[in-house]
A and B are shown apart, each in its own frame.
Chain A
């Protein structure tokens, strides 16, 4: 195979880079049309991104985006759309925060406490995704629809549980409510970075481990092979004895379990409680990051860091007099243009392949095309 041919690599990079350039262009037009300076905007963002604190915060955000992206990607590799990562992580973060903060947990050794929290979050995430999987396997309901519904139900369920009468307690002096704070033994310490007032999340290693496991399972195990095969061709998978229903159930559960982890770096690393201001919407960012990184473990990591940088350097824009929402526009344009770019590259690839195959076949079919004449013709058509 010529998988590592320079042209293939170039084509692979063309889509994301092209999309980025296009997004910057669109933003430049928007900024110009609304009377802001593109140069000032970029300057403000780049200056902000170079500050150690912004950089650490970006990596912290990226940790969560990366986990969300992997949860989404597990489904994507099988052509399953787990739109429900958002609801899964919020429900999982809320319930595991309640568990980790519970008084009876305080007597347990730290390692056990953290492990229990992580396992609980994975179980909740998997269970919530499992509802969608079950509906798909038994009743043939599209997981897109059911996970959209489950996202909304999760929102109401979390607001129901996050009530002083149930799993939460009030914060005196503010109108925020949250679960009981996790005490020292249940927290995961951060990694201090010089020059930055905030620490790097300790669970960044968990994200890296999940990324490695994702790569390993998909490319080195039979399960991963079956998962990819089902995604590439359902009929071929069935013909080779793969039970599609079993694969749907398993991959959805796995995706949900990883989704359950999304909130943990923040929960155990900095906020130590699930409260009203816990960041929402990371599930949808995960979809964007998985698309941008093409479901590849390293691609998604780069995309997650990019997303984190964009998000965290946006804060500096308000000081420069530019509405920070320009970053939201840029992110949306990146996603839309990157999927279009990938499609264009795919079409281009198919066309060149067809041309090459056509050329090869044409020369064997034509008896007069033997010998040196063949080369001439190839040159003429190239």
Chain B
């Protein structure tokens, strides 16, 4: 079988090269985002929008998503689509539950990673060695993994103290660190409620207070992936397998080996994401991942198959997740933020000459703005849909800026280029 049907939209190819923004522009853009956030915070009276508590919760929610996204990126950069992330995460949560309650959280993390890697290896065997369609293999893993996890959980947790048929006994949380002086100073500034200054202080405080070591590990892994994939010969070879495997083969790269490595690593990252989820919530539960593997996939696409981007995507989705937990005023303010973001997209698209897209984005932006002003609250049930809606909007309205690896999803046989 070959990869899915490709329909070429009539969009112009992205103009590459000329859009290299200088570092100063990035700082400016971040400052602008923060300014808008503070303005909305003051305007809507939603303190939770920028409070340190929200940022802490967002960080905790974002870490499993970022790991799933990183997992997706590793596989897809080597040309293998990994829909099975969700299943591999489930394996990770079970592994963490199994080892975590017996030998501590870090053993849980290691076990989650190992079980995830086994899931990845399975995907690699099916897709690389046997050339099975990537989507199908992923769906099969998503069917298999929850069954396996539930079977094992019944077996090992039913009689364990504090465990049940569908949940593990408690796992201790990983250590948390706080930067002592800085956290207090920032806290004092945050409490003043000054425009912008307090907002920035609140967000920074969230980043330096009670940060789990797991979060630190996740950040290191993302940074490590940047170095490994973009600054070493190993990374160049791995990415070449996703762009042009035949060319890579002609230069002596063992494409199968790199694909196997990438997909197994992908499973390991997904398992790690699952383990983080289980450890930070204190136990393994059946159905705990609840689609986070798919949100991770969405974060990866949002981040244009790049580590920095996927970290931003995961933070954004983690932020909406945290918002949903923290009361309706903040959630309601999100509508306004989404409206503003869409109007910005509309302006950007207009400047690059995409009139239809621009007007669609503008229309949707106005619609969200109207929704904000004509209502008092967003129904709690709809908040969870935000990451998925945002991803669809990004894909629909800004997809000419996205560039997936070229050979993604296509079957590859050794020697097919001869």
Contact = CB atoms under 8 A, between A and B. Distances in A.
Nearest to A231: B5
A247 to B, nearest CB: 9
A328 B7 contact: no
Interface size band for B = 35 or more
Contacts of B4: 79-81, 142-144
Interface in B368-397: 379, 381-382, 384-385, 388-389, 391-392, 395-396
B295 to A, nearest CB: 8
A92 to B, nearest CB: 18
A287 interface: yes
Given A144-B4, A248-B5, A152 B140 contact: no
A328 B146 contact: yes
Contacts, number: 162
A78 B83 CA distance: 20
Contact of B132 (A329, A331, A340): A340
Given A83-B135, A328-B150, A244 B144 contact: no
Given A148-B297, A248-B5, A336-B144, A343 B388 contact: no
A333 B395 CA distance: 34
B147 A328 contact: yes
Nearest to A80: B5
Interface size band for A = 35 or more
B52 interface: no
B136 A291 contact: yes
Given A287-B139, A329-B144, A343-B132, A245 B388 contact: no
A331 B150 CA distance: 14
Interface stretch (A51-59, A118-126, A131-139, A268-276): A131-139
Contact of A152 (B1, B2, B133, B385): B385
B143 interface: yes
A339 B141 CA distance: 12
B379 A160 contact: yes
A213 interface: no
Contact of B143 (A78, A145, A288): A288
A67 B209 CA distance: 53
B75 to A, nearest CB: 14
B399 A140 contact: yes
B24 interface: no
Nearest to A161: B381
Given A78-B5, A288-B143, A325-B147, A148 B132 contact: no
B296 to A, nearest CB: 11
B288 to A, nearest CB: 16
B195 interface: no
B151 interface: yes
Contacts of A152: 291, 294-295, 384-385, 388
Contact of A140 (B8, B141, B297): B8
A139 B297 contact: no
A74 to B, nearest CB: 13
A136 B139 contact: no
Nearest to A323: B154
A140 B126 contact: no
A234 B1 CA distance: 13
B280 to A, nearest CB: 22
Contacts of A91: none
Contacts of A149: 294, 298, 388-389, 391-392
Interface in B1-46: 1-9, 11
A335 interface: yes
B117 interface: no
B155 interface: yes
B142 interface: yes
Given A136-B7, A143-B4, A152-B294, A163 B381 contact: yes
Contacts of A163: 379, 381
B147 A329 contact: yes
Contact of B294 (A148, A234, A339, A344): A148
B130 A141 contact: no
A156 B382 contact: yes
B155 A323 contact: yes
B5 A135 contact: no
**Among A231, A326, A328: residue with most chain B CB under 10 A:** A328
B96 interface: no
A339 B137 contact: yes
B131 interface: yes
B148 interface: yes
Contacts of B382: 156-157, 160
Contacts of B143: 284, 288, 328, 331-332, 335
A240 interface: no
Contacts of A142: 4
A230 B5 contact: yes
Given A153-B388, A288-B140, A332-B143, A140 B9 contact: yes
Given A157-B385, A331-B147, A335-B143, A144 B83 contact: yes
B297 A344 contact: no
A244 B7 CA distance: 8
B344 to A, nearest CB: 19
A34 interface: yes
A267 B381 CA distance: 24
B229 interface: no
B144 A135 contact: no
Contacts of A143: 4
A340 B136 CA distance: 10
Given A140-B399, A156-B382, A326-B151, A234 B5 contact: yes
24 contacts: A79-B4, A137-B7, A137-B9, A140-B6, A140-B8, A140-B11, A140-B399, A144-B83, A145-B298, A145-B395, A150-B388, A153-B392, A157-B385, A160-B382, A163-B381, A245-B7, A288-B139, A323-B150, A325-B150, A328-B151, A332-B145, A336-B144, A339-B136, A343-B1
Given A79-B1, A287-B136, A335-B139, 9 more contacts: A79-B4, A83-B135, A140-B11, A141-B396, A146-B392, A152-B294, A152-B385, A156-B385, A288-B140
- The list of the 7 closest CB pairs from A to B, nearest first, reads A328-B147, A332-B144, A140-B9, A325-B151, A156-B385, A160-B381, A336-B140
